[in-house]
């Protein structure tokens, strides 16, 4: 799920793009396993495998059964918070928090490629649990609370710890405050390690937003007292203009060659003020240890989009097939439901070779209960398409493709009917505002729906039988961002069906679904600086034909250093969505190579 520049041995961050937050990692021999939080999506806690720390593939979900993951009372950003994965004495342990049903628990397996056990619950509160196995003891570390030194009546967040019996989850000691951190907000995401003569405690501070940091302390005892790292925070991008922001919630791993590495979450932002819509992603950075035994992460606590690869033999996996024909007995691992699914609402066998969804009463605006099968948006520049067979007979029945952040922030491309006539429409829901912004009559029960995305926009199309694309509407990525919608998740592309308040027997049948990465590294495109596009005669001619005023009367000299898509975000009156789409199409046809000497 990432790429390596073989000539320079560089890898691209993030190693897991899209909504893959709160990573935790462990190594067993030459195999690496990584998990992420999943919140209200089912199955829960996606599990990835690698042998070189750079190339990853999903091998399952730790919580694949509803008895492991009840989500009846969850909200979009509830459910499963940060997990941690560890290995001890032939057994893998994944511990996490179901924030809306039960609290902290762990599941186990001896085969990470197979099924995981029923939950084993622990009576320690807080979130972000992590385990350390050392010399026959098992330490459970979580975010918790302690008495405020200046106000005994007040509770303040801290890191808490207990010792547990691993077979049963029984607490052997009462949880006690361990460390309040360095003074940053929201101390959380703890991991305790035994490295050499010290116990190292690494935590996140600052909250999982733009002030996010990672800090470390150490002690000769797992219970402290703690000596804070003299160059804390060991990782942060706060108050920088880096393209990666919100770095934190990290985990350490030692590679088989003795090198050390760190995985953490971060976000890639767009526009001004900066926003992010893909969600919190998983990044990788090297770690070295100084003479005093303290870690140095990346480049002086910074992580780049392109970094030196581990000195491990590259092991790649078969690339995902862009098209899912729904011809298997199970859904692929990339697919998620919103909450726990009902078996009578969806089927792969009702019509073999299609995904059938029933129009139940719940709508997209209701969120939970809607019949929804989605996958993460993992690339800024991508397109998704689906072939839908649907013949609604009652007003209110609808089915289609949604670009989804949550129940109050989504763009919908759908088929519905009114007075017996079928239409294909686009609806935008942004907070309390909702509107159908395009609607056209359909002449056939089968239609291809297409969404094409870049950093700034979603373009929503209907495709004719002869392949002609007809654009219906646009939607800005900004209004599906975390900064607008809130929460902890990222954008999904989802197939859905709804009776909008009425349970129906109508079925929507999706014959196939395509997801394609449209990035063009090394090619002059709309993500390139205006100056680069004006330097080449061919690309300058494209701009001169479509946005001549921008070429002949640029807003300011400094604009040449801004990507064209960034200018479109700042000056939509100069580069409208339709003009940006025309420029993008023309540049893709030219395929002009970006010079290295720029």
First-last CA distance in the chain = 29
Helix (H, G, I), strand (E, B) or coil at 496: strand
When pLDDT is cut at 50, 70 and 90, the band that residue 167 belongs to is: very high
Judge contact between 78 and 100, C-beta under 8 A.
yes
Q: Locate the DSSP E strands across 233-370.
A: 235-236, 244-254, 260-268, 281-289, 295-297, 306-308, 323-324, 336-338, 346-347, 355-358
State the pLDDT confidence band at 153, using cuts at 50, 70 and 90: confident
pLDDT value for 268: 98
Sheet (strand 24-28) strand order = 24-28, 31-35, 44-50, 57-63
d(CA 88, CA 145): 29
pLDDT at 594: 86
In contact, 167 and 117? CB cutoff 8 Å: no
**Pairing mode, strands 433-441 and 421-430:** antiparallel
With a cut of 80, say whether residue 4 has pLDDT above it.
no
pLDDT digits (tens, 9 = 90+) for 519-532: 999 999 999 999 99
Does the pLDDT at position 6 exceed 80? no
281-289 and 295-297 strand pairing: antiparallel
Distances (CA, A) of 486 to 74, 209, 456: 16, 11, 18
Q: How far is CA 356 from CA 370, 373, 387, 501, in A?
A: 14, 10, 12, 20
Mean pLDDT throughout 236-262?
Answer: 97
Q: Looking at residue 1, what is its pLDDT?
A: 58
Closest CA to 417 of 445, 459, 388: 445
Of the candidates 169, 167, 161, the one whose C-alpha atom is nearest the C-alpha of residue 129 is 161
Question: Quick one: average pLDDT of 265-284?
Answer: 96
- pLDDT-wise least confident of 128-132, 392-396, 425-429: 392-396
Residue 2 has pLDDT above 70, yes or no: no
Residues 576-586 as b/e (b if ≥16 CB within 10 A, e otherwise) read ebebbbbbbeb
Residue 351 pLDDT greater than 70, yes or no: yes
Active site residues: 22, 188
The whole-angstrom separation of Cα 497 and Cα 509 is: 10
Structure confidence at residue 150 (pLDDT): 83
Sheet holding 295-297, edge to edge: 244-254, 260-268, 281-289, 295-297
Confidence of residue 359 (pLDDT cuts 50, 70, 90): very high
Whether 368 has a pLDDT exceeding 80, the answer reads: yes
Q: What is the pLDDT of residue 593?
A: 94
Which helix (H) or strand (E) segment holds residue 514: the answer is strand 507-517
CA distance 85 to 577: 44
Check residue 223 and give its pLDDT: 98
Residue 422: which of 442, 398, 394, 440 has the closest Cα? 442
Nearest to 157 by CA among 182, 198, 133, 188: 188
Task: Provide the pLDDT confidence category of residue 53 given band limits of 50, 70 and 90.
Answer: very high
Distance CA 143, CA 157 (A): 7
pLDDT value at residue 5: 53
Dist. CA 257–CA 397, nearest whole Å = 58
Q: What is the pLDDT of residues 432-480, one digit of tens each?
A: 999 999 999 998 889 999 999 999 999 999 999 899 999 999 999 999 9
C-alpha angle 21-27-32 in degrees, rounded to nearest 5 = 60
Lowest mean pLDDT among 166-170, 244-248, 283-287, 593-597: 593-597
**All domains in the chain, ordered by first residue:** 4-308 (2.115.10.20), 323-517 (2.60.120.200), 530-590 (no CATH)
The percent of residues above 70 in pLDDT, for the chain, comes to 98
| DSSP state, residue 14 | P
Locate tokens 């975010």: which residue? 143
Residue 596 pLDDT exceeds 70: no
Tokens 């999982």 correspond to 208
Neighbours of 574 (CB within 10 A): 15
Contacts within 8 Å (CB) and 24+ apart, 124-128: 124/160, 124/162, 124/164, 124/171, 124/175, 125/175, 126/97, 126/160, 126/175, 127/81, 127/82, 127/97, 127/99, 127/188, 128/22, 128/81, 128/82, 128/84, 128/97, 128/188, 128/189, 128/190
State what percent of residues in the chain have pLDDT above 90: 91
Give the pair of three-digit tokens for residue 321: 């097939």
pLDDT tens sequence across 59-84? 999 999 999 999 998 889 999 999 99
CA atoms within 13 A on the CB side of 577: 16
Q: How far is CA 525 from CA 2, 137, 276, in A?
A: 21, 56, 21
CB 467 within 8 A of CB 570: no
Residue 451 to residue 471: CA distance in whole angstroms: 9
Residue 598 has pLDDT above 60, yes or no: no
151 torsion bin: left (phi>0), alpha (psi -120 to 50), beta (else): beta
Q: Rounded to the nearest 5 degrees, what angle is found at the Cα of 224, between the Cα atoms of 219 and 226? A: 60
Mean pLDDT for 486-495 is 98
Yes or no: say if 79 and 71 are a contact pair by the CB < 8 Å rule. Answer: yes
């Amino acid at each position: 799920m990432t790429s390596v520049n073989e000539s320079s041995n560089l890898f691209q961050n993030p190693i897991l793009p899209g909504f893959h937050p709160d990573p935790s990692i462990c190594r067993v021999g030459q195999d690496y396993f990584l998990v992420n939080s999943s919140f209200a999506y089912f199955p829960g806690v996606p599990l990835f495998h690698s042998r070189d720390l750079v190339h990853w593939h999903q091998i399952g979900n730790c919580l694949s059964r509803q008895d492991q993951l009840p989500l009846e009372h969850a909200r979009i950003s509830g459910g499963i918070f940060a997990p941690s994965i560890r290995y001890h004495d032939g057994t893998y342990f994944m511990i996490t928090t179901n924030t809306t049903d039960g609290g902290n628990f762990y599941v186990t397996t001896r085969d990470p490629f197979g099924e995981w056990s029923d939950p084993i619950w622990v009576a320690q509160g807080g979130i972000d649990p992590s385990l350390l196995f050392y010399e026959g003891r098992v330490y459970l570390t979580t975010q918790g609370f302690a008495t405020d030194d200046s106000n005994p009546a007040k509770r303040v967040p801290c890191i808490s710890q207990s010792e547990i019996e691993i077979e049963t989850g029984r607490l052997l000691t009462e949880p006690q405050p361990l460390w309040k951190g360095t003074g940053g907000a929201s101390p959380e995401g703890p991991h305790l390690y035994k490295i050499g003569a010290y116990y190292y405690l690494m935590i996140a501070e600052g909250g999982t937003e733009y002030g996010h940091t990672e800090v470390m302390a150490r002690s000769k005892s797992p219970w402290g007292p703690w000596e804070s790292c003299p160059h804390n925070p060991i990782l942060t991008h706060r108050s920088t203009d880096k393209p990666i922001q919100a770095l934190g919630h990290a985990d350490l791993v030692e590679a088989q060659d003795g090198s050390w590495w760190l995985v953490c979450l971060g976000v890639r932002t767009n526009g001004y003020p900066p926003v992010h819509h893909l969600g919190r992603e998983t990044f990788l950075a090297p770690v070295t240890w100084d003479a005093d035994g303290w870690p140095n992460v990346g480049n002086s606590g910074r992580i780049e989009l392109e970094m030196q690869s581990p000195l491990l033999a590259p092991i790649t996996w078969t690339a995902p097939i862009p098209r899912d024909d729904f011809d298997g007995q199970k859904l692929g691992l990339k697919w998620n439901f919103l909450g726990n699914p009902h078996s009578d609402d969806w089927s792969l066998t009702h019509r073999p070779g299609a995904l059938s969804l029933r129009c139940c009463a719940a709508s997209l605006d209701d969120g939970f209960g809607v019949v929804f099968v989605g996958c993460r948006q993992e690339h800024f520049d991508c397109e998704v398409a689906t072939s839908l067979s649907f013949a609604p007979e009652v007003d209110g029945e609808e089915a289609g493709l949604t670009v989804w952040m949550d129940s109050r922030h989504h763009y919908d491309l759908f088929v519905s009917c009114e007075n017996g006539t079928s239409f294909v429409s686009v609806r935008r829901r942004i907070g309390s505002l909702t509107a159908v912004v395009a609607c056209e009559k359909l002449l056939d029960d089968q239609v291809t729906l297409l969404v094409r995305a870049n950093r700034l926009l979603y373009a929503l199309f209907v495709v004719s039988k002869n392949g002609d694309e007809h654009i219906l509407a646009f939607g800005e990525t900004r209004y599906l961002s975390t900064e607008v919608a809130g929460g902890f998740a990222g954008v999904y592309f989802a197939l859905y069906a709804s009776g909008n308040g009425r349970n129906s027997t109508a079925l929507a049948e999706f014959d196939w679904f395509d997801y394609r990465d449209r990035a063009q590294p090394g090619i002059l495109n709309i993500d390139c600086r205006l100056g680069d596009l004006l330097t080449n005669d061919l690309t300058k001619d494209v701009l001169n034909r479509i946005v001549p005023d921008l070429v002949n009367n640029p807003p300011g000299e400094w604009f040449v250093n801004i990507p064209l898509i960034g200018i479109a975000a700042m000056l939509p009156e100069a580069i409208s969505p339709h003009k940006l789409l025309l420029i993008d199409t023309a540049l893709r046809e030219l395929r002009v190579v970006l010079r290295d000497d720029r």
